[in-house]
Amino acid sequence: MDKDLESLSHEALITEIIRLRSAIRQHRDASGHDLCWYQPNLWSLLPEKHDPVLDVPSWPQFMHGCVKYRQSLDTQQPDAPRNNREYQE
């Protein structure tokens, strides 16, 4: 799957690493409502072009998952600051 890396020069590999690290940092540094989004920009960094077929949960199951995710943040990040900002489109 990653055979394309074998043909890259040292400089090209460094450039690729920097590009991928930048994307990972951007995702890592997401906060607030930006934590919960579909991430095609991140996935597009992979060399294989793949249009994922999503299996989207129905609303009740989706909201249950959102609540579980938010509860996990209370466990994993109990000291993180909290805010009351509404989502802005």
Alpha-carbon distance 69 to 63, whole Å?
10
Q: Is residue 73 a contact partner of residue 48, using CB atoms and an 8 Å limit?
A: no
Give the model confidence (pLDDT) of 62-87 as tens digits. Answer: 999 999 999 999 999 999 999 999 99
At residue 3, the pLDDT reads 93
Q: What backbone torsions phi and psi does residue 80 show, to the nearest 5 degrees?
A: -65, 140
pLDDT over 90 for what percent of the chain? 74
pLDDT for 45:
93
Q: Where are the domains of the chain?
A: 3-76
* Contact status, residue 19 vs residue 45, Cβ threshold 8 Å: yes
